[in-house]
Amino acid sequence: MIRTRRMAAIGLGALALTGCGVFPGQGPAPVLVRPAAFTALGVTAAYLNGDVISGSRARAGKMRAAGIRPLGAGEAPAYMYRAEQELRQQTAGIGIDVIHLADGVLIRVPASMTFDPGSAAIKPQIDATLTEVARTVKSFNRTYVDVLAHTDTSGTPSGNLALSQKRAAAAAVFLGRRGVAKARIASRGLGESAPLYAVESSEVEKAANRRLEIRLVPYRG
């Protein structure tokens, strides 16, 4: 029994440390606290840690054409840390999560704050908040910007995919209209294929699966 409890404690400790990183001269990134039922897909999914949408080679060409200077190998960690901290300060206490990734930063916005059910029109109530987020995304312009939208499992998979694609595109247009260079932006709807909760056993879990995400990835040329 004692051994079992020790193993459980070790497992919980490992879960609490998931998503942490250390930046030169800055100390550890904040620990991301997640509900016990939250699946590892939330921070370790391939769609968050793989290549950017459409591939970095194709996207880098657009960045160069737009005159955006790539980050040097030694510049990226501190640059992304500053972006993360500014975004955390902007969004503290309003229900938007800023999450440290292995190679980037993720801004996660509940869909309930951004869209009405079945709609891809961004709510006027979130305009000011997203405009502030866009200002920071614009200022840290040496990054790729991936806009991702997700749904829960209500409805059909094809309908959910189509809705998420429209929502991701709408958010990408929103960023572009607020000064984020279009050469930096790509969007993708993932429908119900990348849930935070693999089994939706409550409305809270369904609501968590419905989300908009803005992923910033360092542009290294």
Is the pLDDT score of 64 beyond 90? yes
Residue range 43-58, pLDDT digits in tens: 678 888 899 999 999 9
Give the residue ranges of DSSP H helices in the chain: 2-17, 41-44, 46-49, 56-65, 76-91, 111-114, 127-139, 157-177, 203-209
What are the phi and psi torsion angles at 191 (to 5°)?
A: 55, -130
Taking a C-beta distance cutoff of 8 angstroms, is the pair 182, 203 a contact? no
Domains of the chain from N-terminus onward: 33-218 (3.30.1330.60)
Is the pLDDT score of 13 beyond 50? no
Token output for 197:
């909760």
Q: What is the pLDDT of residue 158?
A: 97
The vertex-196 CA angle with 214 and 192, nearest 5°, equals: 80
- Cβ neighbours of 17 (radius 10 Å): 11
User: Which position has the token pair 């200002």?
Assistant: 135
**Per-residue DSSP letter, 36:** T
Q: Indicate the average pLDDT of the chain.
A: 83
Residue range 123-139, pLDDT digits in tens: 999 999 999 999 999 99
Q: Between residues 135 and 18, which one has the greater pLDDT?
A: 135
- Look up the pTM and report it: 0.81
3-class DSSP state of 205: helix
Inter-helix orientation angle 127-139/76-91, to 10°: 160
- Cβ neighbours of 173 (radius 10 Å): 15
Taking a C-beta distance cutoff of 8 angstroms, is the pair 157, 191 a contact? yes
Half-sphere exposure of 98 (CA within 13 A, CB side): 22
